[in-house]
Structure 1
Amino acid sequence: MIKLASAVTPPLLTGATLASPVSVAQSVFWETIDQLWYVCQPDGTPEDMDRVTVTRLGVDGTIVDKMYLGRSGHGTGLCVERTAAGIHLWAGAVPNGGWATALARIPYVPNGTADASDPAVVRTPRTGVYRVSATIDPTRNQLVFRWQSNNVSSPTAVGGVDAYDLGLAATGMFQRVRSTTFEASGKTLQGFTSLGDQLYHLYGDQNVDNFEVTCTDWASGTVLQSRSITAFPGIANREPEGICVYEDTLAFGIAGKPNGVRQLNVARFPHPGTNPWVEVPYDTALYTPNSANYVPQYRIAGDQVHLHFSMSKADATAWGQGEVLFTLPPRARPNRTQRLLGVVTGTAVTADTMAVRFEVAADGKVTVWDERNLVGWVGADVSFWVC
């Protein structure tokens, strides 16, 4: 279970501009393989209110590309499925009064356009429902479908949430593997997601200090946690918009409109617990680990990143000043350069310290620094920084 604590700083995105600068983001989804954000927003054109724009952003918030989905709805639900055939979006379809009543599974085409209500792409888990949205639970490989039985705004809505095997759902086969219902909350829903045995909902209204995330038990429907969201205070037209699984925790969006331009900000909750060690790619032609236990690797424990490695230069030459050993992935990078203390083999020094200094930069590069022209292995163990 994710602990709904205060959001971690620094944020994941600050003031990101989307493909449509005039409409507010409605949903966000993090795709972990390509390390891209997918953001859905209404098109913002009065003559085409059911069209949405999907913007892809890099980890630094720059726009990569976009795609337009016609006859989709309000954009309140968006998720991304990766298969050997490519990337598919799950989005709203067959809108009724501007809100989706079904889903569409659409191949993502950079800078392309698709009709979300084309029968060839429409998927219908339930009929006779309103204001539907979907997400993907990566821990269960399930498509999670939220629906209302009444066509009203979310504070007075009643309905349910169903989960389906994602592979079968892609083919149009919907056999529920779990389901729960909800009653009127009295709160404005701004997004939901699923992670393991829990459902998470984001609520709140624009420019009102009522932002909240709740954690609900799938099996019983009991609310297990609730947390007020205070991230990004003071921004113009502040409004919660979208929540998604981010690596092994949750991220949520806060929209703003400084200087009349719509922007998106994203923060995350702390990483839970201690995660397994993850190996980091390195140049095997240049470096040789002491053993399989000492290949470069990291793990995240709470909000600390632990680093572990020990290796020599394959050509037995001296270590250079600022030599880059390997590069950590975005999730394990510090927000500023960190200095770490490591060790060097005792045969490399005489009447001198066995300590050696490493640096980890914000771009993930791990470098070694020592003016002694050391030869032999160098290593770091249980060195850490805050991610």
Structure 2
Amino acid sequence: MAVTDLIDLAGSWGRVLSGTPLNHEKHTRAPQSMAVDPVTHDLFVVQIRDALEYGNLCVYRMDRATGRAIDHMHLNGFGHGYQIGAQHIGGTTYLWTETGPLYEQFGTRIARFPYLPGQTVDPSSSVLSEPFSPVPDARFVAPNVDPVFQRLTVRYLTGQGYLFTQYPIHPVTGQVSWTALRTIAHPPAALVPRLADTFQGFASLGDHLYLYTGNPDVDDTYLTALSWTDGSVLAGPRRITAVPGLERREPEGLSIEPMGTEARLLFGFSGSHTTPREVTICFLSTDAPVRGLKVLADWSALTPAAGITARTGLRSPRGRLVDIAGTTYLQLRGGFEGTLAKDTRIAQLPPTLTPSRTVRAEVPRDNRAGRCVCRAEVTPDGGLTVFGATSDNPVAWVDLDAFSVAWR
């Protein structure tokens, strides 16, 4: 797999989840981080369960098509969950996370376990691997998996400050060798002030280590790339302005997702103050533009509303995101038919296409009394609505091939 390890931190961003509520049993805490199974592309999000349950986590497996949780499992006594990792071994997803004994609600070791929906695991469970600590006095320990270059990275605090150590993963068995490949230190704040902000996550891809920092409730989110060779800053800190309309933009977690010959750097946000807390996940990609065009989200189906069907003779309704010369466009294709006698929501877009603001375009409709155009509008909840139908001039069909608008 010839995947470059360089992510353009100033590149166009796409979206994986859009304002997904984490509402199982009314857990009240923010999402902390995410991980992706590199084979199935199952997406996992971890959350502290309650304000009184620091150390106890809930892991959700998310449905990318609907933006909702498929199932979940509980972890008791594992820590804060500020960074996790995922592997695919023998047809099963294994998750890495911190584990106890705890220090100030954070783990002092790391361990691996299979994802077991509906079950609860604690540090004494037999499904847990032998816990590991890089050094005897390590605190605030957290793991991350590089699924492309097969390495496990561990961040931890010692008397020397925060360190990152990397360990090799066997490409066939998935077993980790606890012989360190390399160790670098977190850059001092005196040299890189933005790295003194609240630390929110890390992810490694090849020779680059990406750090995520930022403070809640302010527009203050940064990504930084370090060199695994000497720990020097290669890019950033780069201010990230993705999804500016969120109620809350606290950065939460990083993850690498392999995508064939490319890779994505996923970065998350805690998007709300109220219960249920929401998670929004975006990405930057190693994918380079081809003739000035970069596909951020390939063609995906639109889900029709009740009573609405795909228009006969046209391509199935679908949409995609493309970047052209630095501007991201939402493009829709195909059409719908039904009997619309008023302004009507006709379809739902998947989370990958949902815009941060309302976008609209004029699209063709059936010609009635000289009216042959109507307005199609997509809102930040992903709804596609057609405007202009009335009881005395209903809309029988719309054609979306003309819908191409700036997405952000």
TM-score with structure 1 length normalisation? 0.68
Q: In the alignment, is residue 92 of structure 1 matched against residue 98 of structure 2?
A: yes
Work out whether residues 298 and 321 of structure 2, in 8 Å CA contact, stay in contact via their aligned partners in 1. Answer: no
After TM superposition, list the pairs within 5 Å mapping 1:257-336 onto structure 2.
257-273=272-288, 302-303=294-295, 321-322=313-314, 335-336=330-331
The structure 2 residue matched to 1:24, chosen from 30, 33, 36, is 30
1:122–1:45 CA distance, 2 compared to 1 (3 A): farther
* Equivalent position SS for 2:79: coil
The separation in 2 between residues aligned to 1:16 and 1:175, in whole angstroms, is 39
Work out whether residues 159 and 182 of structure 1, in 8 Å CA contact, stay in contact via their aligned partners in 2. Answer: yes
The separation in 1 between residues aligned to 2:107 and 2:201, in whole angstroms, is 14
1:303–1:386 CA distance, 2 compared to 1 (3 A): farther
Work out whether residues 35 and 58 of structure 1, in 8 Å CA contact, stay in contact via their aligned partners in 2. Answer: no
Cα RMSD after superposing both structures:
3.6
Distance apart, 1:104 and its partner CA: 1.4
The separation in 1 between residues aligned to 2:297 and 2:54, in whole angstroms, is 45
The separation in 1 between residues aligned to 2:253 and 2:92, in whole angstroms, is 24
Counterpart for residue 346 of structure 1: none
More displaced stretch, 52-61 vs 14-23 = 14-23
Work out whether residues 272 and 301 of structure 1, in 8 Å CA contact, stay in contact via their aligned partners in 2. Answer: no
Q: What letter corresponds to residue 123 of structure 1 in structure 2? A: P
The separation in 2 between residues aligned to 1:28 and 1:222, in whole angstroms, is 26
Counterpart for residue 240 of structure 1: 251
Counterpart for residue 211 of structure 1: 221
Q: In the alignment, is residue 105 of structure 1 matched against residue 112 of structure 2?
A: yes
The separation in 1 between residues aligned to 2:244 and 2:188, in whole angstroms, is 28
The structure 2 residue matched to 1:220, chosen from 212, 227, 230, is 230
Q: Which has the higher contact order (CA 8 A, sep 6+)?
A: 2
The separation in 2 between residues aligned to 1:176 and 1:77, in whole angstroms, is 20
- Count how many residue pairs are aligned between Structure 1 and Structure 2: 301
* Equivalent position SS for 1:122: coil
The separation in 2 between residues aligned to 1:305 and 1:23, in whole angstroms, is 30
Work out whether residues 87 and 147 of structure 2, in 8 Å CA contact, stay in contact via their aligned partners in 1. Answer: no
Q: What letter corresponds to residue 84 of structure 1 in structure 2? A: G
Counterpart for residue 88 of structure 2: 82
CA deviations on 1:28-71 (whole Å, 9 max, x unpaired) are 1123432322111112151x321111111111311110010111
1:84–1:329 CA distance, 2 compared to 1 (3 A): farther
Work out whether residues 41 and 53 of structure 1, in 8 Å CA contact, stay in contact via their aligned partners in 2. Answer: yes
Distance apart, 1:303 and its partner CA: 3.3
CA deviations on 1:234-280 (whole Å, 9 max, x unpaired) are 433320001111331212111122544310111112443269xxxxx
Distance apart, 1:91 and its partner CA: 0.8
Q: In the alignment, is residue 136 of structure 1 matched against residue 184 of structure 2?
A: no
Counterpart for residue 395 of structure 2: none
The separation in 2 between residues aligned to 1:67 and 1:259, in whole angstroms, is 23
* Equivalent position SS for 1:235: coil
1:306–1:182 CA distance, 2 compared to 1 (3 A): closer
Counterpart for residue 72 of structure 1: 78
The separation in 1 between residues aligned to 2:235 and 2:211, in whole angstroms, is 11
Q: What letter corresponds to residue 147 of structure 2 in structure 1? A: P
Q: In the alignment, is residue 158 of structure 1 matched against residue 161 of structure 2?
A: yes
1:305–1:255 CA distance, 2 compared to 1 (3 A): closer
TM-score with structure 2 length normalisation? 0.65
Q: What letter corresponds to residue 199 of structure 1 in structure 2? A: L
CA deviations on 1:164-183 (whole Å, 9 max, x unpaired) are 12239965640112221224
Counterpart for residue 123 of structure 1: 131
The separation in 2 between residues aligned to 1:64 and 1:306, in whole angstroms, is 23
* Equivalent position SS for 1:34: coil
Distance apart, 1:158 and its partner CA: 1.8
Distance apart, 1:103 and its partner CA: 0.7
Counterpart for residue 345 of structure 1: none
Counterpart for residue 271 of structure 2: 256
Counterpart for residue 183 of structure 2: 179
The separation in 2 between residues aligned to 1:263 and 1:115, in whole angstroms, is 26
Q: In the alignment, is residue 13 of structure 1 matched against residue 20 of structure 2?
A: no
Higher percent of residues as strand: 2
* Equivalent position SS for 2:31: coil
Distance apart, 1:13 and its partner CA: 1.4
1:36–1:330 CA distance, 2 compared to 1 (3 A): farther
1:329–1:87 CA distance, 2 compared to 1 (3 A): farther
Counterpart for residue 281 of structure 1: none
Q: In the alignment, is residue 3 of structure 1 matched against residue 11 of structure 2?
A: no
After TM superposition, list the pairs within 5 Å mapping 1:350-365 onto structure 2.
none
1:323–1:26 CA distance, 2 compared to 1 (3 A): closer
